[in-house]
A and B are shown apart, each in its own frame.
Chain A
Amino acid sequence: MDCKNIEDILIFYALNEISGAEKEEVQKHLNKCETCNSIYNNLKADLNIIDEEKVTVINENFTANIMSEIENISSEKMKKNNIIKMFQPLAAAAGIILILTIGILTGNMIAADSTQNITNTENEIYYFNDLQQENAEFFLLNE
């Protein structure tokens, strides 16, 4: 293996994810190549940072803080529910008033419509009357 081949699999060697003959070849190369060995040491050290970064001890207030936040959320929710409960009878009353108002207005509109229909009928009668006003005798005299 040359340096290029080593560089292509060095991370897997550093993470202990290769084995057998391949692992031995990398080991042999690192023993004789100072440049690759230096790269390997850096790579290994940088990858170790991941393990060092993981938390092992948690802030002791972590759980308490979340539980207190949850308590706040629950009481906010309860307040909202109480307000809704308080306004429910008012909303129901307002709904009934609205329905009644709509009913009354609709009733008035229907009544107004009926009156207009009667007037139209009267107008039609008026036209018939108008025709009847024509003087038949005068018409015959002209003949």
Chain B
Amino acid sequence: MSSEIVKVHEDLKAGKISCVQLIQERLKALKNSSNNTANYLLTEFAMERASKVDEKIKNGEEIGLFEGIPFGIKDVYLLQGQYASASSDFLRNYKSPYTATAIQKLLDAGAIPIVKENCDSFGHGSSTENTVFGASKNALNEELVAGGSSGGSAVNVAKGYTVFSIGGDTGGSIRQPAGYNKVYGLKPTYGRISRYGLMAYASSTDCVGPISKSLEDILLLLNVMSGKDYHDQTSFESEQISLGVIEKQIRGNEFKIGYYKNFIENKALDPELKKDFIKFIETLKSNGVEVKELDFFDGNILVSTYYMLAMAETASNLARLDGTNYGVRHSSDSLKEGYAITRSENFTEETKRRIVGGNQVLSHGHAEEIYLKARTLREQIKEQFDKEFTEVDIILSPVSTGKPPKIGETLKDPLAMYLSDAYTVGFSLGGLPTLTSPLVTETGIQITSAKGQEEKILKFAKYIKDIVE
């Protein structure tokens, strides 16, 4: 069992470390880190809870598996009374009035949040450079980007500052930074975990998901956070997944695997990532796994469809940020002028680009030619996924077209940044569950299945672990 949650839990129970000591150590590591992953440290909030856990242990009371486990929260989630900035100037001093459902479930289980983590502002980015807190640095090489938008979260897990972190994934924002920092990251089926209390980027693809060093922890966290929520009508009830499914020996011939040939023939794919991916497909075949080549939509179509819809949705969602009810307000002689100054001065350039793009998409003329066409393409993408999953159990793909770029390169070329999401956005449009495993290629491998089939994904990820390690 490689679960870090279980290991820390055993250490706490055995008295090898006190909870106060554990939390202090992790907070200190975050404070002294040069990776720039922390927007706010939750020192007082965390220490108060840690003392209570120690008190329980001292009194001989049982503690639950999650009690006292330090974790990180991407700074787009609400935690009552704590700052939630979305890495923006607009909300730099905004305090959460309530707590997100997924986070509340972790609090109820006894886990202790210690940090609000750096990310791309409102989730708008693929590198955690579009942030007013300064770029996060990759856990393995500080000259490189952390990935994004949940970059701070993936780095914190990889560096061991948090036992796990909760990221948010709209078009790849958990999976890509997980790959860049060599940790596991799951985007569950859309609706499996409530989005209540997650600041909306693109509501039709936004997902809450865990990032951790082990598959076991991904499974445990998925079980804790899943479930129907009164506050999110797109959420649904799901079955718990037993740890047993990834503890037993898994045979390759239990699965039918597919991969998209055109993804691998994409000229933008880094040659080394391509070579390692193809080599792994051959390994699967030689292990008796049935592998099928599939054809899919062109990467440019996937990216464009995703961004048209995501921009339209974010323009609508961020219209509420006008300085009236919360955030920064610049007063002016006229209401319109006040709105415009407030928004112009407090959104980042990339966020403004997406809002303006979204308003174009939804404007008269474009709405028919672009928005409605993108909606039709999305339905066709979903239909094709439905068809594929009648023939295969799992679809494998690279996580990213390239290796992590150097800090400073990504935001110079927004189009290249959008196109680099080619392998993640399609699965988001389909609402499918998909996991980054840090194995196989330098930026990992993406394992996807049909809606609600997280168990299959976790099993196959375990199979990969068994044959690669």
The answer to whether A and B interact is: no
Chain B residues proximal to chain A, CB less than 8 Å: none
Mark A residues whose CB is within 8 Å of B. Answer: none
